[in-house]
Amino acid sequence: MTDSTCSFEMKPVPEGTAHGWALKVDGKCTAWHHVELAHPSYGTLTAGQRPEGYPSWVFREVHGGGAVTLVSAITDDGELLIGLVQEKRANMTGGELQLVLCIVGGFVDPDEDHDQAQAREGSEEVGLDTVKAQALPGLPINPNRAFFVADINKGEGVVPYALQLPMEMLEFDAQAGHWEIKEKGLLPSVKKEADLVFLPWYEAVTKTADAFALAAIARLLATLRGQHVAC
């Protein structure tokens, strides 16, 4: 399990420093030098003086990151299909509850490691058993290099996994223009497999704004080099 300690430290902003960051608490501006907002399952948001010597804010997720699982399949013609979840995320659509395509995944809970987190998220989000998903090669991903704290030397960050499904599990929906899983209810889930749609990888990369999905697709393509896959 990832070490929960972190050597990155935000110190109080020195008195008299004009930093330009305004803090509002319950709608009222409040003077500040060091602010910390923490959640036991998500992480800690801290505002203060960065080690480089300037005021800013950073967010550190629990264990420094999360886990995402890229579900895929390969057609008989060797075409790589990418499975993404259709979900409503208002923060990605200007406050409107519109469907967007995202990779399966989420935070690492306090009592988990990355492997356990990805298996839990696979079950919760799309009702799939992703225990056998394999971590894709490469460093853990930092979702925002300017404001997120994740020590790659400690294995912190978001770890991408990949799980390939047999094409026999999928069927093509001509009206919707995508593949989906034939038999629903493989595992009890908060969301349903119907939310998981499969597109050719070159379509998926233009139809998702999820940076984790894009990074995972790139790493999966790298692992498939030299195989009989139309990349």
- Convert the pLDDT of each residue in 183-203 to its tens digit: 765 544 445 545 899 999 999
* pTM over 0.75, yes/no: yes
Q: pLDDT-based confidence at 230, cuts 50/70/90?
A: low
Question: What residues does each domain of the chain span?
Answer: 64-140+155-223
Q: What is the pLDDT of residue 2?
A: 38
Alpha carbon distance 212, 218 (integer Å): 10
Highest mean pLDDT among 1-10, 43-52, 177-186: 43-52
Distance of CA 220 to the CA centre of its chain: 15
Q: pLDDT-based confidence at 226, cuts 50/70/90?
A: low
Q: Average of pLDDT values for 110-118?
A: 92
Q: Which CATH number fits domain 64-140+155-223: 3.40.50.300, 3.30.830.10, 3.30.70.20, 3.90.79.10?
A: 3.90.79.10
Q: pLDDT-based confidence at 1, cuts 50/70/90?
A: very low
Q: What is the pLDDT of residue 182?
A: 85
Alpha carbon distance 142, 202 (integer Å): 24
Q: What is the pLDDT of residue 186?
A: 55
Q: Average of pLDDT values for 32-36?
A: 96
Q: Average of pLDDT values for 85-93?
A: 86
The 3-class SS string of 64-120 reads HCEEEEEEEEECCCCEEEEEEEEEECHHHCCCCCCEEEECEEEECCCCCCHHHHHHH
Q: Note whether 196 and 126 are within 8 A (CB).
A: yes
Q: pLDDT-based confidence at 111, cuts 50/70/90?
A: confident
Per residue in 70-86, pLDDT (tens digit) is 999 999 999 999 999 99
Q: Average of pLDDT values for 111-137?
A: 91
**pLDDT mean across residues, the chain:** 89
Q: Is 48 exposed, middle or buried (0-12, 13-18, 19+ CB in 10 A)?
A: buried
CA atoms within 13 A on the CB side of 146: 3
Per residue in 136-188, pLDDT (tens digit) is 999 999 989 999 999 999 999 999 999 999 999 999 999 989 999 887 655 44
31-45, 46-60, 115-129, 191-205: least confident range: 191-205
